Structure 1
Amino acid sequence: MSEQKSATNMKIFSLNGNEPLAKKIAEVCGKELGKCEVKHFSDGEIAINIEETVRGCDVYLVQSTNEPVNNHYMELLIMIDAMKRASAKTVNVVLPYYGYARQDRTAKPHEPITAKLVANLLTDAGATRVLTLDLHTVQVQGFFDIPVDNLFTMPLFAHYYRKRGMVGEDYVVVSPKNSGVQRARSLAEYLDSTIAIVDQAEEGDPDSGYVIGDVEGRFCIMVDDILNTGEVFSKAAKTLKKAGAKEVVACASHGLLSPPAKEMLDNAAIADICITDSVLTDESRHPENLSIVSCAELMGEAVKRTHENVSVSPLFTVEKKDFD
């Protein structure tokens, strides 16, 4: 693809979900954010005005759909419609965090599959492609009838821990719940470590959890996709310490940090917590021992590759030699 097309046919816009990350993604692509206005009226209605031409352009809309999730989704849907009506060539949705992804199945009778509903809404609004980060379950990609690229955060966390020398047999990567084993295995491969699983305590009996695997006298790295209230990490850390773990740290792809996350994590037996900047939260909600790694380079490179019709596959995995 020619440099001329890259310079003139690609435009990146941000909504209110995570503008700081959108700016970083635009910088990686060598662009400035497009000009638009997003207004919320007193009755809750949303109005959007695109303040520059997008006719014939490949447009990339960056919107993280964290709290307030419904407002952020409505902003995105309205913006997609605005772009289609303004004759954009393609409308590519960049979702660092896909809200409602946890509602991906009917767990009880008469429950909705809201992750599928959201996929339908985005597609029907006019999105032509979706780029997202660490979906709660990869099967959510199948809810879409348009291309979906789901990037993974494990290489980012592998960089973070390998730079600190946290590799080898003294370290154990732990899934704090049964459903996250694949994520733990992926990070463990990068760190040349083994894995363990915390079988969570039964409701009403906080001391009934136990560890599957050997953690005694070893450093534990818990890994999850979503850090919400911190309860899962807090309980799992307690169980690991009870099983003889020397020290416990944790990482999560999306740091929602919903109250009472700060209080719970500040009081938990966790020495360090690492998240990405996929979600924008107020610093007043950050635990004292929080570290943040940016996903902007990863997502920005994916946007560039998409625009240039180059394979995104190399971004899904990283060779261990590339960390050194």
Structure 2
Amino acid sequence: MIYLDYQSTTPLAPEARDAMLRWLDGPDGTAFANPHSPHKLGRQAKASIELARERVAALLPPGGRIIFTGNACEALNLAIRGSGTGGSVSISAIEHAAVYETAEALGAAHVLNVSKEGQCNTAQDLPNDCRLVAVMSINNEIGTIQPTVDWHRKAKENNALFLVDAVQAYGKIEITQADMIAISAHKFHGPKGIGALWVRDGLELEPQITGGLQEGDRSGTLSPALVAGMGAAAAVAKERMAEDHEHVEELWKRARDLFSDWELNGSEDTRYHGNLNVRRKGLDVNRLMSECRDVMFSAGSACASGSGKTSHVLKAIGLSDKQAKSSIRVGFGRYTSLEDLEAGAKAINEAAKAQGL
């Protein structure tokens, strides 16, 4: 099996696995305590969570707090729903469904357009009643990097809060200015089932899950194993950021050669280079994936797989339904070898040629 779907999820880092096992097994069988209990075992579990909180915060701006959540979708919902009521929520046209469907559910969505290169520029007016602007850092489908610093400035000029979906960016690029930042552990080699929302100091949220408020703004007993795994993954991401970047750049250059006769979706340069989204005229993607069963890649974002809907991201950058449905996403990162990339590309290209393309 060749795994080339890093935007969907990333392989668990060995360091994260080791950290989790400490709180699943434990050296003496006592690592099962509730971290919110006041006794000795509970305090030990709580200490592991606070260590992880520090590790996760180390890759985020100073002057904020970390709220652990079940995933990034929950974090984004807490940010959007918990930061106020009434008014408009301005979102880029290529936001994740967790953002745009939440804004739509509130009846507050104001969509900001993007260029054919996949960037959401600030030469757009915000509604007078805008209370929140949400622009992701790196797009999950086409990898384009958004001008979040400029959007933060624009939001402040309009007395609005600024939310960044940094799920694809955390541990890869610097995230600087925001009021709230959402992340998910399994996108940077941590476990599934744990995410976080960074909230700027002084900003209070209305809890969306009540019943204990163990995290202050969020209720529910935390899993020391999941939190420790996320913390360990964050620490490794911080330590290896430069090394991971260099490796991804090497893979990107080779991937562009291997897929040189495919059309690139989105910007060549202003994007995270671990995301290659390309198309080929007339390609039957379902057939392609069926004939490449041992190569794990995507026909779109994993959250929309099986829906039958055309990617809203690809449509937002001006692609027709046919062009969007003839596109694939190849994702690679820390544990992708050059040999795996070459073998995967060979299988995909041979299957495409078998379709007469």
- Return the TM-score normalized by structure 1: 0.34
TM-score, with length taken from structure 2 = 0.31
Greater relative contact order (CA < 8 Å, ≥ 6 in sequence): 2
